[in-house]
Amino acid sequence: MSILSWNCHGLGTPWAFRFLKEIVLQKRPDFIFLSEILCKQVTVEKFQQAVNFEGKIVETQGHSGGIALLWRFQNEVTLRTFNKNHIDVFVKNKAGDEFRLTGVYGEPDRQKRKEAWDMIRMLSSINTGPWCLIGDMNNVLSQADKQGGRPYPQWLIQGFRDVIEDCSLTDLDLDGYPFTWERGAGTVDWIEVRLDRALVSTSFLNIFPNIKLINLEVSTSDHCPIQLEIHKASIVIQKRVFRFENAWLREPMCQKIVEDVWSSGASVSFYAKIKECSEILSSWGREITGSFKNRINQCKKTIKLLKGRRDSNSIAVLKEE
């Protein structure tokens, strides 16, 4: 399962439409969150049909802003809330996974940034389960998230940090190129910033510990798409295979175990006897082979002791001579 997020800066352009379609066909995400779609709903519906996704939620803002969430199977998503800056849904898929997914488009106006932070706090207050937020947050968490230009205002960094701490969220590391937005590429005014990210709750990490956030690094927009790959923790049960140890042949008890099992009741099948014999030998053999290391260590100590005595005797003989 995976989630693709991209600030496409205009889905209505032919190159953005084709690029996103190609990315979806290659990466096969289950959910797509788009921000700054800058188009009417009919364009999103056209794209939805092109990639064969069943579900969608679109919040258009004319030719400015606008967000959309698309998903592969209609009945796996239940809408909770949405506005121009977020789409919040509950996911329950065929595999039995249940979690809350929120696509976020952070407020671009710095003077309104506190409103966006309070929105996340509000969403957190009604959260009761595993939660993932993904999108263009329009925020950074440190000066290391920015390269070029003036330092990022510290009050914005601290404000966003406070939100993450207040909501008990974890900012996921980004695999690949560390920045997701750029301006003035190749010039002296080149600026790069990591604005796109994913935040998850502790309960989300407990259910999906094997998650990876990837910067796809190619784009027709000033933002690179990011993809969150989600995998459940897998419990591998290794079936113990019986193996006869040649070292057991030196032990008299080995032959006795085999004889006792083989002389058991005539009604017991051949395969049942083999199974019983292997189980008993395995249990008994663990004690025998398990003591090999101790035996070896003891032998080494004895050899060392004898060697020490020999050297002492040699020295005594030399002194006498």
pLDDT digits (tens, 9 = 90+) for 4-26: 999 999 999 999 999 999 999 99
Q: Please tell me the distance from the alpha carbon of residue 320 to that of residue 306, in angstroms, as a whole number.
A: 21
Contact in structure between 151 and 144 (CB atoms under 8 Å): no
Flag the least confident range among 66-80, 137-151, 174-188, 298-312. 298-312
Does residue 298 have a pLDDT over 90? no
Confidence of residue 268 (pLDDT cuts 50, 70, 90): low
Q: Please tell me the distance from the alpha carbon of residue 319 to that of residue 276, in angstroms, as a whole number.
A: 64
Confidence of residue 44 (pLDDT cuts 50, 70, 90): very high
Q: 64 is written with which tokens?
A: 């400015």
Q: Please tell me the distance from the alpha carbon of residue 100 to that of residue 281, in angstroms, as a whole number.
A: 51
Find the helix or strand (DSSP H, E) in which 158 lies. Answer: helix 154-166
Task: Please give the single-letter amino acid code of residue 199.
Answer: L
Report the chain's C-alpha Rg in angstroms. Answer: 32
Confidence of residue 310 (pLDDT cuts 50, 70, 90): low
Residue 41 neighbours by CB under 8 Å, 6+ apart: 58, 60
Going from the C-alpha of 192 to that of each of 99, 104, 195, the distances in angstroms are: 32, 20, 9
pTM of the predicted model, to two decimals? 0.73
Q: Please tell me the distance from the alpha carbon of residue 281 to that of residue 244, in angstroms, as a whole number.
A: 8
Find the helix or strand (DSSP H, E) in which 227 lies. Answer: strand 226-231
Q: Cα 257 from chain centroid?
A: 49
Instruction: Return the ∠ at Cα 163 (arms to 79 and 212), rounded to 5°.
Output: 65
Does residue 318 have a pLDDT over 50? no
Mean predicted confidence (pLDDT) in 97-106? 95
Residue 142 neighbours by CB under 8 Å, 6+ apart: 157
**Annotated domain spans of the chain:** 2-231, 246-320
Q: Cα 138 from chain centroid?
A: 23
3-state secondary structure at position 300: helix
Q: For the chain, what percent of residues have pLDDT higher than 90?
A: 66
Q: For 281, how many CA atoms within 13 A lie in the half-sphere containing its CB?
A: 26
Mean pLDDT rounded to a whole number for the chain: 86
Going from the C-alpha of 56 to that of each of 21, 67, 69, 72, the distances in angstroms are: 16, 11, 6, 9
CATH topology of domain 2-231: Deoxyribonuclease I; Chain A (3.60.10)
Beta-strand pair 2-7/226-231: antiparallel
